[in-house]
Amino acid sequence: MAKKKSKYKQRIPTVDAVLWEEHGDDDSVGTFSESPWADDECSVCGRHWSEHGRLEEPGNPVADVQAVCPGSYLFDHHGFMSVLPAEQFEAMYEGGT
C-alpha cells in the first residue's frame, strides 16, 4: 500500500548568501591558482581551476575544502558555508535585496 503524504517545510526560511562569480567576491574564498592542476578544466563547469574559489573551513560537515564553480551561491548553513550552483539555489530561495 502506498504511503500517505506528509507536510514538509523548509527548515531555514532565510539564509545569508552571496553569488560568487570571481575572485574578490567574498573574503572567505581562496584560490586554486597554486595547484598543479590550475590550468585543467573542471568536470562540472568546464572552466579552469584557477577561476574557481577554494573554500577552506575545517570541521565543515560537507568537506574541509570545497570548490566553488563561478556562478555558485555561498550561503551560511548551520554555521558553515554551503555552495550551490545558481540554478539550484534560486529554485530554493528568492530575494537577494
Q: Which residues bind Zn ion (CB under 5 A)?
A: 42, 44-45, 69
Q: For Zn ion, which is the closer residue by CB, 40 or 76? A: 40
Q: For Zn ion, which is the closer residue by CB, 15 or 45? A: 45
- Nearest-approach distance from CB 55 to Zn ion, in angstroms: 13
Report CA-CA distances (Å) from 5 to 8, 30, 92: 9, 44, 21
- Nearest-approach distance from CB 37 to Zn ion, in angstroms: 12
Q: What angle do CA 51, 95, 59 make, to 5 degrees?
A: 55
Q: For Zn ion, which is the closer residue by CB, 12 or 40? A: 40
- Intra-chain end-to-end CA distance of the chain, in Å: 46
